Amino acid sequence: MTHISRKWTDDEIDFLINNFLTMTDQEIGNYLSRTKDAIERKRAKLKLNKNEKLCLDQSTIKEILSSKLTYQEIAERYHITREQARNIYRKYDPKGYVAKTKLWSNEEEVFLIKNYLTMGDESIACILERSPSSILKKRLKLGLHRNDFHIVENPPDKYWTEEEIEFLVSNIDMLTYEEISQKLKRSVKAVMIKASKLGLVTNGSKWSEKEDSLLMQYSRKTIEEIAFILDRSPKAIKHRLNKLGIARKSGQDTSLEQKVEKIIKDLGVKYLKQVILGSDFNFKADFVIGTIVIEANGDYWHGNPILYPIPNEMQKLAIEKDLIKKRYFEELGYKVYEIWEYDVNTDFPKVKRKIARLLGNQ
C-alpha cells in the first residue's frame, strides 16, 4: 500500500518556524498530529537549525538585557526572531526571562483543566489570550494528554457582516456558543474567536437569574472578585454589568480601600492611588505617598495568616503574588506596608495611628 504524505499547510509551517527553538520536535509533532521524523525532515528542508547561534556580540547582548523592551521590540530592533530574543534571556538572564513571562493564574489553569478535552489548544489560546504553544506546554506540564483522540480545529471563517456582529453582540449573554453558531451557520470556534476579539468572552453558558441576583448583590466588589465568585471571566462580568445597567469602573474601590484612603486624606498628605510602579510588571500599588507604598489587603482574598493559617489554593497564589509584588516595589526603592481588613474592622483608631506614624517618618 502506497503511503501518501499529508501536505503541510501554511499555518503548520508558521507554527514550526515560530516554535522550533522552544519546543522539541516531539512536542511540535504532538501538536500538529505529525511524527517526530516528519518534523525533523520539514525543519531540515526549511533550514531551521536548532543549534544555530546568534550573530550578536557580547556588548549587544548586554544592551538587550539592560533594555526595557518587549521580546517583539527586541526582535524588530536587532533583526532577530521573537523566540531568539526569548532565548537570550533564558541563557543570560533567567530571572529576567521569568519576569517577562506571563505567569499562569489559578483561574487560567482551572479553565484549561475543565476544557482541554472539548476544546483545541488554539481555541483555548484565543480565550486566554496566550499562544497555542504556551497552552500546549502548560497542558503537558499538568499531565493533560489527549492520547485517545484528536480534536480537529476547523479554520475560523474570515469575514463577518455587520448583521452577524450585531447578532453576536446582542445574544452573547442569552445564547450559548453552539446556539449562536447554528443561527449564523458558522463554526463554534469562529464564534468564540470573534467574541474574544470583540471583548465579549464568556464561559459559553447563559446567565441565570440567580447569577444576576448575585451580580447585583456583589456589585460593590471588584471585577476580579466577582469573576472569581461566579467562575466567569472579568470581561464577561463587565459586559453583564453594562447589560444590566450597573455603571461602575473596573478598578472601583473596595470598602477597605475607601477607609484607608479616608485616613490618608484626613492627614492632609499628597498621594497617588492605584498606580503602576516600574515598567517590568503591571503591578498596581494601592496608595503611594512619596517613597511609601500602602497596600490595603482584604482578609480572604489575600489570605490573612491570623484568620487563615492554612490557606486554600487561591490564597496561596495570592500570597505568592503579594510577595513578588512587595519585593519588586522594594527593589524600586519603596517601603511597603500592608494594612489588613481585620485590623481596620477591629481597631480602626490603632490603624489610623500606625499610618500617621508611617507617613510622619518620611
Q: Give the tens place of pLDDT for each residue, 34-90.
A: 888 888 888 888 777 765 556 677 888 888 888 777 776 787 787 777 667 777 877
- Is the pLDDT at 9 greater than 60? The verdict is yes
State the average pLDDT over residues 26-35.
Answer: 81
Distance CA 11, CA 295 (A): 46
State the average pLDDT over residues 340-355.
Answer: 90
In the block, residue with C-alpha cell 503537558: 140
- Is the pLDDT at 218 greater than 80? The verdict is no
pLDDT top residue among 318 and 348: 348
Pair 97, 89: CB distance under 8 Å:
yes
Is beta strand 272-276 parallel, antiparallel or unpaired with respect to 284-289? antiparallel
Pair 15, 25: CB distance under 8 Å:
no
Average pLDDT, the chain: 76
Question: Could you report the per-residue pLDDT of 83-127, keeping only the tens digit for each?
Answer: 677 778 777 776 666 566 666 777 778 788 888 877 777 777 767
**At 151, is the pLDDT very low, low, confident or very high (cuts 50, 70, 90)?**
very low
- Residue 155 three-state SS: coil
pLDDT top residue among 85 and 294: 294
pLDDT top residue among 336 and 136: 336
Q: Which of 325, 346, 349 is nearest to 338 (CA)?
A: 325
Distance CA 83, CA 101 (A): 12
Q: What is the pLDDT of residue 339?
A: 92
Name the DSSP letter for residue 203: -
Q: What is the pLDDT of residue 193?
A: 72
**At 203, is the pLDDT very low, low, confident or very high (cuts 50, 70, 90)?**
very low
**At 2, is the pLDDT very low, low, confident or very high (cuts 50, 70, 90)?**
very low
**At 302, is the pLDDT very low, low, confident or very high (cuts 50, 70, 90)?**
confident
Phi, psi of 275 (to 5 degrees): -115, 140
Q: What is the pLDDT of residue 167?
A: 82
pLDDT top residue among 309 and 174: 309
Question: Could you report the per-residue pLDDT of 132-150, keeping only the tens digit for each?
Answer: 777 887 887 777 776 544 4
State the average pLDDT over residues 12-21.
Answer: 73
What percent of the chain stands above pLDDT 70? Answer: 76
Pair 335, 293: CB distance under 8 Å:
yes
- Is the pLDDT at 220 greater than 50? The verdict is yes
Cross-strand bridge partners of residue 284: 276
Residue type at 27 in one-letter notation: E
Pair 59, 52: CB distance under 8 Å:
no
Cross-strand bridge partners of residue 273: 287
E strand segments, 185-334 = 272-276, 284-289, 292-297
Distance CA 200, CA 92 (A): 40
Residue type at 262 in one-letter notation: K
- Is the pLDDT at 285 greater than 80? The verdict is yes
Q: What is the pLDDT of residue 153?
A: 46
